Amino acid sequence: MEKILKTKRKVRFQDCDPFNHLNNSKYLEYFINAREDQIESHYNLDVFEHMKTTGLSWVVASNQISYLKPAFTMETVLIESQLIQYTDNLLLVEMKMWNENETELKAILWVKFIQYNIQTKKAAKHSEDLMKLFESVVVPVDHYVFENRFLEIIQNLKNKAAV
């Protein structure tokens, strides 16, 4: 099963600012929409169907994002995502936005999702099946502080460029 999921998207005019850059708030939409599509197609997990059948879904607890390069109007970008950590009720997903050829990193995002029971309006534990899925796809990283991970990614890119 693939662990690092990738999707291409075109940056749309209506999502851009007057400088023809993807608006900062729209990055989150592009990332979240891509992740939803990726987990449905790769893991057969439709979050909306899951919510309808179980009464459970995920809510965003926090976002951390760093913008490195602008994404431009009508540019094709590649959005990559991976689960980097999980607990019985939390998921930490790392996402990156690249240019189409994956040679220029545009943004890095961490999203913490909490499983949530829509009836009780409280955090809920993941099922055994979900925990097995998470175990099979998690890609642990060396740093669990966003800024340290960001610096590690940037350093790795510089080292690649130097070779």
Write out pLDDT tens, residues 39-93: 999 999 999 999 999 999 999 999 999 999 999 999 999 999 999 999 999 999 9
CA 143 vs CA 109, 114, 130, 153: distances in Å = 14, 20, 24, 10
Q: What is the pLDDT of residues 79-105, one digit of tens each?
A: 999 999 999 999 999 999 999 999 999
- For residue 162, what pLDDT band results from cuts at 50, 70 and 90? confident
Is residue 156 scored above 90 in pLDDT? yes
Q: What is the rounded average pLDDT of the residues 121-133?
A: 97
Is residue 163 scored above 90 in pLDDT? no
- Domains of the chain are 5-162 (3.10.129.10)
Average pLDDT, the chain: 97
